[in-house]
Structure 1
Amino acid sequence: SIPSSDRTVDHSLPLPDLKPRIAEVCRDLFNKWRNLDDSDFSLETVSGGITNLLLKVSIREKQDSTAVITVRLFGPNTEYVVNRERELQAIPYLSAAGFGAVLLGVFGNGMVQSFIDARTLTPSDMRSPKLAAQIAKHLRRFHSVQVPGSKEPQLWNDISKFFGRASTLKFDDAEKQKTLESISFTEIDQEIDQLKQLTSRFDAPVVYAHNDLLSGNLMLNDDEEKLYLIDFEYGSYNYRGFDIGNHFCEYAGYECDYGLYPNEDEQYLFFRNYLNPDNPTQVSDSELEALHVETNTFMLVAHLYWALWAVIQAKVSPIDFDYLGYFILRYNEYKRRKAQCFSSAQVYFSK
């Protein structure tokens, strides 16, 4: 069983003030460090996503030996958008299959994991053909992991929860409230219904999906050319096309530069390596076309998913990020791409 502690750590504290609190958590969780002093611990920030803070913690165990771990502090109020229970249940199975870091302990608002010696990718890294092929092969393997529990796809449940929360919010900030009032949730509700109907016509395989495969959740050790998929907080059973379509949207980065969305050749390279990792050239045109249409229809769903997520984050997240601006960028891109994607799907189904 994994050690656990009820302690919580305020993730808005500056690094020097975090140190004694993180040391306290580590002493609480691990007997072997119980007698160590605060001065035996040192901290550095690995990355601050727009929901989590990732810290590299080095522990001086003896004169000549240092242990290194990662501490992930969950962003405040992330329980509004993340199902923590689902994540903690899946981690041991994903970890056993070689994905992510090993879970070493959990505490009130975070987890302790093994340290991965690698750098976080950037959106432009993901376009490199060599890396794109590697990511596709990894994702195929990730999708074959069996996680116990319900195998029902969670996409529409999650969207329905997000919709319920986003459509009933009120902001104290007048400017934000004005932006919120300009959003037609009736229209979004109709869009969700249309997408639900259209995507149900695909026989999209249901897999254990990452659901948040952006560059910040991919790490690479350049020397060993070893790729890591990390951070499974949005993971669930879901439609294959959603996971891939969502990943393609992330080529655009947080700035949402959708001119960077992968073109057909780039997508086909990814699909070949995903569909036949051992022999990518042996994929039929019909398989490629089917996955292309499936992915680019579910890509529309990804825009609505994160658009609604952003409205909730604008209300609950203390992180300084223009979430309502992000909603607008995602929803506008959805509307810009909708007609073409719907018509490609209709043509495909009429064959």
Structure 2
Amino acid sequence: MAIKTKGFVKGCLPEELKRVLRSVAADWGDAMDDMEALQVIQLSGAMTNEVYQVNWPTRNGEVVRKVLVRVYGEGVQLFFNRDEEIRTFECISENGQGPRLLGQFSDGRVEEFIHARTLSAPDLRDPVISALIAPKMREFHNLDVPGPKNVVIWDRMRNWLCEAKLLCSHADTKEFCLDTLGGEISTLERELSEASQEVGFCHNDLQYGNIMIDEETNLITIIDYEYASYNPVAYDLANHFCEMAANYHTDTPHVLDYSKYPGPEERQRFVRIYLSSMGNLPSDAQVEQLVHDVEKYTLANHLFWGLWGIISAYVNKIDFDYIEYARQRFHQYWLRKPALLGSSGRFR
């Protein structure tokens, strides 16, 4: 995915970032007197932030150190609280679930570089890799992250709807039915919020670029927790399934192909592995119920990321057609709604 950068290369690193890198290097016993020794490589596929791999040689030159530098995108404060995200990042790291936080600067942070391969779009549909992702998701959902454990998705969407209304042109407001979307959110909340549903700590953005695999050990690492919060686990599974329609490393990264959405057998297999991963074999009825719940939560996913796309189009300068992306997510919402809602407005 081609990205327009802010000219962030080794020759013009912010002084604050240079200080952080020198501090990290010193902690590792390296000397970083010559910034010309740095190698800066932009990593593709990011849609909110700009991400770079920064390398430098050790003192004896035998080893190359690697860190990941994340430069925060414009307008991201509308989507999540950065301080809360950092606290989540540190908590997850302490639980051995992701990279370590090495340092922060005003426009971003420095993270441990994970020596693993970031998944590709086809990997999500690979039965072997998918069978590794499912238990890792279950493990992630069982994390005990400090703070309120209330479902966040509905209030977050309402907040985003308010932001979208403030930002949008009249044409976009009309096209995306923003004046009536509050009613759609309330309907979904009323019909999907069942007392029996399981709530866990959800990633909420389980696209392939946020999942890494160590191909020697087959260990899966989930990264990037900007949108992470407590939510129904069915919502997170639905998000992961919806992301199978995306490939952000093409000439048209915004285009979604819903023919790649997993079929019934694939969804059942994933859910059965997910439920089995804690040691208790689920019944067929339990598997079917969660598969059914996940399908309903795809509607919430489409509204969530549709609103994200609309707002991003007005605040983010990354080279990505956010409006067309939003258009596709809303199209899927209206397309799938009749199949999942009965005539009375209740889910089938």
TM-score by length of 1: 0.88
Q: Secondary structure at the match of 1:228?
A: strand
Q: Secondary structure at the match of 1:219?
A: strand
Q: 1:11 to 1:84 in 2, by over 3 A?
A: farther
Counterpart among 1, 4, 7 of residue 13 in structure 1: 7
**Could you tell me which amino acid in structure 2 is paired with residue 323 of structure 1?**
Y
Whole-Å separation in 1 of the counterparts to 2:162 and 2:330: 17
Q: How many residues align?
A: 333
Shift of 1:50: 0.9
**Could you tell me which amino acid in structure 1 is paired with residue 258 of structure 2?**
Y
Q: Hey, which bits of structure 1, 4+ residues long, moved more than 6 A?
A: none
On the 8 A contact 2:151/2:230 being kept in 1, the answer is: yes
Counterpart among 44, 53, 57 of residue 54 in structure 2: 57
**Pair 1:26 & 2:21 matched:** yes
Whole-Å separation in 1 of the counterparts to 2:245 and 2:115: 26
Q: 1:230 to 1:35 in 2, by over 3 A?
A: closer
Shift of 1:343: 4.2
- Matched residue, 2:185: 192
Q: Secondary structure at the match of 1:168?
A: helix
Q: Secondary structure at the match of 1:212?
A: coil
User: Matches of residues 125-164 of structure 1 in structure 2 within 5 Å?
Assistant: 125-164=123-162
**What is the CA deviation profile of residues 259-305 of structure 1, one whole-angstrom value per residue up to 9, with x for unaligned ones?**
1111111011110111111668x321110111012111111101000
User: Matches of residues 101-180 of structure 1 in structure 2 within 5 Å?
Assistant: 101-171=99-169, 178-180=171-173
On the 8 A contact 2:55/2:67 being kept in 1, the answer is: yes
Whole-Å separation in 1 of the counterparts to 2:211 and 2:69: 17
**Could you tell me which amino acid in structure 2 is paired with residue 255 of structure 1?**
V
- Matched residue, 2:64: 66
Quote the RMSD (CA, aligned, Å): 2.3
Q: 1:311 to 1:75 in 2, by over 3 A?
A: same
**Could you tell me which amino acid in structure 1 is paired with residue 18 of structure 2?**
A
On the 8 A contact 2:10/2:38 being kept in 1, the answer is: no
TM-score by length of 2: 0.88
Whole-Å separation in 2 of the counterparts to 1:145 and 1:269: 23
Shift of 1:26: 1.2
- Matched residue, 2:275: 275
Shift of 1:18: 4.5
On the 8 A contact 1:300/1:334 being kept in 2, the answer is: yes
- Matched residue, 2:77: 79
**What is the CA deviation profile of residues 49-84 of structure 1, one whole-angstrom value per residue up to 9, with x for unaligned ones?**
011122111122312343221111111221111221
On the 8 A contact 2:199/2:232 being kept in 1, the answer is: yes
Whole-Å separation in 2 of the counterparts to 1:146 and 1:38: 41
Shift of 1:214: 0.4
Whole-Å separation in 1 of the counterparts to 2:144 and 2:194: 25
On the 8 A contact 2:102/2:112 being kept in 1, the answer is: yes
Shift of 1:146: 0.5
Counterpart among 216, 223, 239 of residue 223 in structure 1: 216
Shift of 1:317: 0.4
On the 8 A contact 2:306/2:327 being kept in 1, the answer is: yes
**Could you tell me which amino acid in structure 2 is paired with residue 220 of structure 1?**
I
Whole-Å separation in 2 of the counterparts to 1:241 and 1:57: 37
Q: 1:239 to 1:101 in 2, by over 3 A?
A: same
**Could you tell me which amino acid in structure 2 is paired with residue 297 of structure 1?**
K
Structure 1 alignment gaps of length 5 or more: 1-9, 172-176
- Matched residue, 1:6: none
On the 8 A contact 1:208/1:238 being kept in 2, the answer is: yes
On the 8 A contact 2:131/2:270 being kept in 1, the answer is: yes
On the 8 A contact 2:245/2:256 being kept in 1, the answer is: yes
On the 8 A contact 1:118/1:220 being kept in 2, the answer is: yes
Q: 1:98 to 1:108 in 2, by over 3 A?
A: same
**Could you tell me which amino acid in structure 2 is paired with residue 262 of structure 1?**
P
Shift of 1:107: 1.3
Q: Secondary structure at the match of 1:71?
A: strand
Whole-Å separation in 1 of the counterparts to 2:74 and 2:25: 25
Whole-Å separation in 1 of the counterparts to 2:57 and 2:347: 63
Whole-Å separation in 1 of the counterparts to 2:175 and 2:151: 32
